Structure formats: C-alpha cells, structure tokens
Chains A and B, each alone.
Chain A
Amino acid sequence: MHISDGVLSPAVLAVGTIIAASGVAVGLKKISYREMPTLAVLTSVFFVASLIHIPLGPAGAHLILNGLAGIILGWGIFPALFMGLLLQAMLFSHGGITTVGVNTLNMALPGFLCWKLFPLIKNKQAGGFIAGFGGVAGSVLMLWVSLGLSRQSFIPAATIIAAGHIPVAIAEGLVTAAAVVFLMKTSPELIGSCNAS
C-alpha cells in the first residue's frame, strides 16, 4: 500500500503532495488541543498496525485502519496519517520520503470520506463495516490511480495489489465494526468528536 521513492512521476508527486499538504494544514487548524490525545492514540494505532505484515500473495499486505481513524478524527486524519507515514519512512524505510504526500492522500482521503458518510448510515455496526471496508477499498483505488497515472506499465502490478487487498478490506471492515460497537457502548461521544465544529 505504501509507495516507495522513485516510483511515481513528478506530476503525480507534486499534485498529491499539494493536496495532502492542504489537508494537513486544514486538519491542524480544525483540531483543538483537547483532541490531541485522541489524535496521538490513533496516530500510534495506525503507525503500529501498518507495520504488521500479513502474508498475502507474492508481497503481502498490512492493516491500515484508516476507516476507523477517519470516523473518529475527521479532518484530523490528514495530520495523523502524515506523521505516521513520515515516521514509518524514516525509521523503517516503509514507503518513501518524497512519496509521503501521495501516501498520505491515498490513505487519508478515503478515511475522511468515511467520516462524512458515517452519520448518514443508521445502523452503526453496518456503518463501521462499510467505513473499514471502504477505507481500504478507497485507498487501493487511489493507489491504482497513482501508479496508473505515473506509468501505464504499473497497471497490471497495481491490479494484483488491489486484488490482494480484498481480504484485508473485509478484515478491516470487521475490526472497524467491532470497534464502533465498543465505542458506541463505552464512549459514544468519541465518534466524530474531533473537529465536530
């Protein structure tokens, strides 16, 4: 899911970085200091979950949890995932420094859309599953577009990666649904609490 340095074309890198930077700036502006602990916890969850390697196909996959982060953080998902991805690139060479912007956009935008759509779904358990599944599916779609726009020859590999993430999307849907049910019982105010204003 993480794109390495030297893979994307300069145009895709530039556009992705600009959009991601705008998202991070808006996110930082909308988040208040009281919401920082939530932001720190979810950044850490994303940082650790993305490092758990699941052997699937030739290269494997990993959890993202951007749907869960999205429905809790809203705009805050942009700075949260940006920090997580930057540290992964610096500490583990997971992803790349130049591609942090595009990777942030690919993972944060679907999570952000989940935050927008989640209140519209009445059954919160189903909403959680849709957010988890949709978060991964959206990220895979954006990865496919990023690679395809950079070079046509990447499309077959991107399609294989997309197919390999279907089980991950289902797993994330189940995990997110369980997390949402738990949060609705214990602290329902947490869901969509960040930058609710």
Chain B
Amino acid sequence: MKTIKALTIVLIVLCLVSILAYGHAMFVSMGEGAVFVQCYYDDGTAAAFADVRVYGPCRKEFASGITDKNGIFAFLPDTAGDWQAVIDDGMGHRVVKDFIIDEDFKTVVHKKTNGIPKFYGVIIGVCLIFGLWGLFALITAKKHN
C-alpha cells in the first residue's frame, strides 16, 4: 500500500514538472502580411544595418531593431492608427516616417514625406548661405564705415 502511495506521488510530481516544462517551451510559427519599412540613401543604396524604432499610436515604442542588408525592417502591427518609424544609421543620417495603419493592420497610408527633395534643399541652402553671409557683410560694412 505504501509503495502504491509513493508511486502515485512520484507520478503526480512528474506530471506537474512536465506541465511546467511544457509551459516554458518555445515554439515558432511562420506567417505573412507584416508591414515593413525600407530605408535607402538618395543614391538608391540600401541603408543596411541601421537602427530602427517603431512607435505605435500614443507614441509608445512598439518595436526596435536593425534593418537587414537590403535596408528592410518588418513588424506586425496590432493597433490601427498613427504610427511612426525612426531610422538612424549612426553616421548622421536620420529619417522619420509617419504613416497610418488601417483597420486590417496591413494597409499602410503614407502621411507625409520627411524633409524636402534634395535638389530643392541644395538650392535653398546655397541661397540661404549667400543671403546670410551677405547680410552679415552688410552689417559689418556699416559698422566699418
């Protein structure tokens, strides 16, 4: 009788341990339909291995990581609304992209582009440089006279 009791207790303990072990197991499932951001430089080169932070609605950080060799970072959103991705290559290049995730968590609506086209930026920048130095020259010339 004692032997049966002992065996029963051992059996119960083994069952519990196996259940606990089952609870800590890790599984992998494959899926499709993730949203991805692709980052590249203005000459078309992929921004590989750049830091990415994705913020969900209410600006809570949802995902972070690095882009792959093709400059891609994928994630699976769980809420519809305004999202933001911030990509930084650590070399001084940073881009912020705002977008909207639709109710099906798949459709991405681009809200706006970050910055201005490079050509216009260069023209504006050079004009500003000459304008500001010209203004400074005018002020110093007046003082000089």
A91 touches B125 (CB 8 A): yes
Q: Residues of A contacting B128 with CB < 8 Å?
A: 87
Q: Residues of B contacting A83 with CB < 8 Å?
A: 129, 132-133
B129 touches A84 (CB 8 A): yes
Q: How far is the CB of B136 from chain A (nearest CB, A)?
A: 6
**Contact of A91 (CB < 8 Å), options: B48, B88, B121, B136:** B121
Q: Using a Cβ–Cβ cut-off of 8 Å, how many residues does chain A contribute to the interface with B? A: 36
**Contact of B129 (CB < 8 Å), options: A28, A43, A96:** A43
- Looking at B47, B92, B115, B144, the one whose CB has the most chain A CB atoms below 10 A away is B92
Q: How far is the CB of A4 from chain B (nearest CB, A)?
A: 5
Interface segment out of the listed B3-11, B37-45, B101-109: B37-45
Q: How far is the CB of B29 from chain A (nearest CB, A)?
A: 31
A74 within 8 A of B: no
Per-residue interface assignment for chain B, residues 121 to 135, with 1 indicating a CB less than 8 Å from any chain A CB and 0 otherwise? 110111011101110
**Contact of A87 (CB < 8 Å), options: B49, B118, B125:** B125
A36 touches B136 (CB 8 A): yes
B129 touches A33 (CB 8 A): no
B43 touches A39 (CB 8 A): no
Count A-B contacts at CB 8 Å. 99
Q: How far is the CB of B93 from chain A (nearest CB, A)?
A: 6
Interface residue tally on B, bucketed by range: 35 or more
Q: Residues of A contacting B95 with CB < 8 Å?
A: 93
A10 within 8 A of B: no
Per-residue interface assignment for chain B, residues 24 to 35, with 1 indicating a CB less than 8 Å from any chain A CB and 0 otherwise? 000000000000
- Alpha-carbon separation in the docked complex, A172 to B108 (Å): 43
Q: How far is the CB of B122 from chain A (nearest CB, A)?
A: 6
B43 touches A55 (CB 8 A): yes
A88 touches B90 (CB 8 A): no
Known: A32-B144, A44-B129, A83-B129. 12 other contacts (CB 8 A): A3-B92, A36-B133, A36-B137, A40-B129, A40-B130, A40-B134, A43-B133, A44-B125, A51-B118, A53-B43, A88-B125, A94-B93
Q: List A residues at the B interface (Cβ < 8 Å).
A: 1-5, 7, 28, 32-33, 36-37, 39-40, 43-44, 47-48, 51, 53, 55, 58-60, 83-84, 87-88, 91-96, 103, 157, 161
Q: List B residues at the A interface (Cβ < 8 Å).
A: 41-43, 45, 47-50, 88-96, 114-116, 118, 121-122, 124-126, 128-130, 132-134, 136-138, 140-141, 144
| 15 residue pairs from A and B, CB less than 8 Å apart | A1-B91, A4-B90, A4-B93, A7-B90, A36-B134, A44-B130, A58-B49, A59-B49, A59-B91, A60-B91, A83-B129, A83-B133, A91-B115, A92-B118, A103-B92
